Amino acid sequence: MKVVVDMNKCQDHGQCVFAAPDVFRLDDNGRLAYVSDPDDALLDEVEEAADVCPLQAIRIEA
Amino acid sequence: MSARIVVAGASMAGLRAAEQLRAAGWTGTITLIGDEPHMPYNRPPLSKEVLAGKAPFESLAFRPRASVSDVEWRLGTKAVAARLSDRIVELDDGEALSYDGLVIATGMRPRRLNCPGPRAGRHTVRTLDDAQGLREALTRPGARVVVVGGGFIGCEVAATAVGLGVAEVTVVDPLPLPMVGPLGELLGRALLKRHEERGVRFVLGAGVAGFEGEEHVTGVVLADGTVLPADVVVESVGSLSNVEWLDGNGLDLSDGVLTDELLRVGGRPEVVAVGDIARFPNARYDGVPRRVEHWCIPTDTAKHAAKALVAHLTGGGTEFGPFAPLPTFWSDQHEFRLQSFGAPALGRDDVRVLDGDLDGDVVAGYHSAGRLVGVVALGGHAAASAAARYRAELLKQPVPTAQGTH
C-alpha cells in the first residue's frame, strides 16, 4: 500500500499518530513524518488515520 | 430485490456510516438521502479557510472509500416522514422507500434569532453555500461585522474576519466569557484576552433584542437599547436537531434522537442514529445520554452503530464492548489552536494549569471528583503536543460503569 499525505493541507493535528503510530509520527518540531509504503497488514489502522485526519489530507493507494 | 439499508443524511456521518456498514460486512444495497446538492464535504474549514478564501470546494469534498462506490446517492432530496413500524421512509419527491435497516444521520441546522428586524445581512455558517455568501459580505470594503454568539463558530468567524482585514468585528454574547461552556472560566478569560489583543471587540453579558434597518441590517439592537452598527451579522447561537421527519413514531426527540449504548433507537434493533443528532450514553463517563457536536463523533458513532446494525441484520452477535469514545475537539482562531482531549465540560469546576502559563502555551486539566476528565491546550504546537501526552492517561482510566460515577 502507498500512503500519500498532502503536506499543503496537513496542519500537524497528530490524530493520525494516535490511529496509526507505526506509520505516522510528529518529529521534535511537531511536524508530521510518515512511512510512505507501509505493510498491507497495517491497512486498518491507516484507514482509521485517514478517517480521523481533520484536514482529510491522507490518501491511500492500493 | 436485495436487502437495503437507508441512510437518511448524506453529510460526514452518513458517509462514514455507509463506509462502516461495508466494513462490518454489509453487502446489500445502501441508499443515502441528502438534502444538500453536494457530495459529503468537510465542514470545519467553512468558518476558517473557506471564509478566508484559501480553500475551494474541491479541497473540502471527502474521498469516499472504494467500498462505497456502488451505493446509491439521492442528493437534493430530503426525508420528510418515517413510519418505523412499517420500515418506510418518505421523501420530499413523494417516493416511499422501504428498508431493512435505517441509519438516522440528518444532523443539525443553525438556530436562528427570533427577533424583529430585517433578514437580509444576517448569516449562519453551516453549509458551503452559507460560507460562500458570508465571504462575499465580509470582503466588501468597510464591512462592519457583529457576531452574535461567542462559541466555537462565533470565535472562529470573528478571528477569520479580523484576518481578512475587517476593521470592526464585535462579538455579542449573553454569557460573561467566550466559549465558557466548553472551556470554563480560566481558559475562557485567556481566550478573551487573546481575541481582544488581536482586535476583536466583545460585548458580553448582553442579549440581542432586534435588528435595525429597512431592507438590510444596519445595526444590532441590544437588550439595554444600545445599537451596534453592522452591515454583516453572523448568528452563531447554537443548532437545532433535524428530527421533525421522525415525529409520530413514539421516539424521544427532546434533544436529538435518544439512543441506547449501541446507538439503537426506540428499542428497534434495525434503527440506529449517528453523528451530532445522536444522544448517546458514553460508558467512559457517567452513562448520561448526551449529544456531542464534535467532528470526531460522526466517525466514532458510525463505526459502533454499523457493527450493531449489521450484526442484527445478518444474525451476528453483538458481543463488542460498550460505546466509550474519548471525545476530542479543536478550534483554530487567529494563529493559535485550542486542542481538547476527554470531556473538559464535565470538570469545569476544578480546572488547573498543568503545563505552561496562561499568557503563552498552556495546558489546563479539568477534574471531576479529583479525577482528570479532560485537558485543553491553548497556544501553538508545543501546547498541543503537551496536551497529547495526557491523552494516554485519559484513555487508560478504566471505563466506569453507569452507576459508578456522577
Domain boundary assignment for chain B: 4-46+63-109+240-314, 112-237, 335-396
pLDDT score for B156:
98
Taking the C-alpha atoms of residue A17 and residue A22, their distance in angstroms, rounded to an integer, is 8
In whole numbers, what is the pLDDT of chain B averaged over residues?
95
Nearest-CA residue of chain A relative to B46? A55
Nearest to A51 among B299, B384, B391 (CB): B299
Q: Among all residues of chain B, which has the CA nearest to that of A47? A: B65
Task: Indicate if B112-237 has the same CATH topology as B4-46+63-109+240-314.
Answer: yes
Q: What's the complex ipTM?
A: 0.94
Locate the chain B residue with the closest alpha carbon to A27. Answer: B385
Q: Measured between alpha carbons, how far is residue B248 from residues B33, B104, B252, B257 in Å?
A: 20, 15, 10, 13
Query: What residues contact residue B329 under an 8 Å CB cut-off, 6+ apart?
Result: B152, B182, B294, B295, B296, B338, B339, B340
Give pLDDT tens digits for B214-240: 999 999 999 999 999 999 999 999 999
Helix, strand, coil percentages for chain A (3-state, nearest 5) = 30, 25, 50
Kindly determine whether residue B16 and residue A47, on different chains, have CB atoms separated by under 8 Å. Answer: no
> Would you call B330 and A29 a contact, using CB atoms and an 8 Å cutoff?
no
Closest by Cβ to A30, choosing from B42, B332, B385: B385
CB contact under 8 A, B385 and A14: yes
Give CATH for domain B4-46+63-109+240-314: 3.50.50.60
- The pair phi, psi for residue B160, each rounded to 5°, is -65, -40
Residue B291 Cα distances to B105, B279, B281, B299, angstroms: 13, 4, 9, 14
Q: Tell me the chain A residues in contact with residue B385 when contact means C-beta distances shorter than 8 Å.
A: 14, 26, 30
Determine contact, residues B74/B32, Cβ cutoff 8 Å: yes
Predicted local distance difference test score (pLDDT) of residue B401: 46
- CATH fold of the domain at B112-237: FAD/NAD(P)-binding domain (3.50.50)
B180-197 and B152-163 helices, crossing angle to 10°: 20
Averages of pLDDT over runs of 10 residues in chain B (406 residues) are 93 98 97 96 96 89 95 98 98 98 98 96 96 96 97 98 96 98 97 98 98 97 98 97 98 98 96 98 92 97 97 85 92 97 94 96 96 96 90 78 40
Cβ–Cβ pairs < 8 A, chains A and B: 33
Rounded to a whole number of angstroms, the distance from the CA of B384 to the nearest CA of chain A is 8
Between CA B30 and CA B197 the distance in angstroms is 51
Residue of A nearest to B297 (CA): A52
Q: Which of B62, B384, B388 sits opposite A56 (nearest CB)?
A: B62
Task: Judge: B381–A54 Cβ closer than 8 Å, yes or no.
Answer: no
Tell me how far apart the 2 most distant CA atoms of chain A are, in Å. 31
> For the whole model, what pTM was predicted?
0.95
B396 touches chain A (CB under 8 A): no
Which of B84, B96, B79, B94 shows the shortest CA–CA distance to B7? B79
pLDDT in tens, chain A (62 residues): 999 999 999 999 999 999 999 999 998 888 899 999 999 999 999 999 999 999 999 999 87
Q: CA-to-CA distance for B131 and B98, rounded, in angstroms?
A: 35
Give me the residue spans of the domains in chain A: 2-61
Tell me whether residues A52 and B382 touch, CB distance under 8 A: no
- At B13, is the secondary structure helix, strand, or coil? helix
On whether any CB of chain A is under 8 Å from the CB of B382, the answer is: yes
- In this prediction, residue B399 carries a pLDDT of 59
Chain A residue with Cα closest to B65: A47
Phi, psi of B240 (to 5 degrees): -120, 145
Q: How far apart are CA B276 and CA B270, in angstroms?
A: 19
Tell me, which fold does domain A2-61 have in CATH?
A: Alpha-Beta Plaits (3.30.70)
The whole-angstrom separation of Cα B259 and Cα B304 is: 12
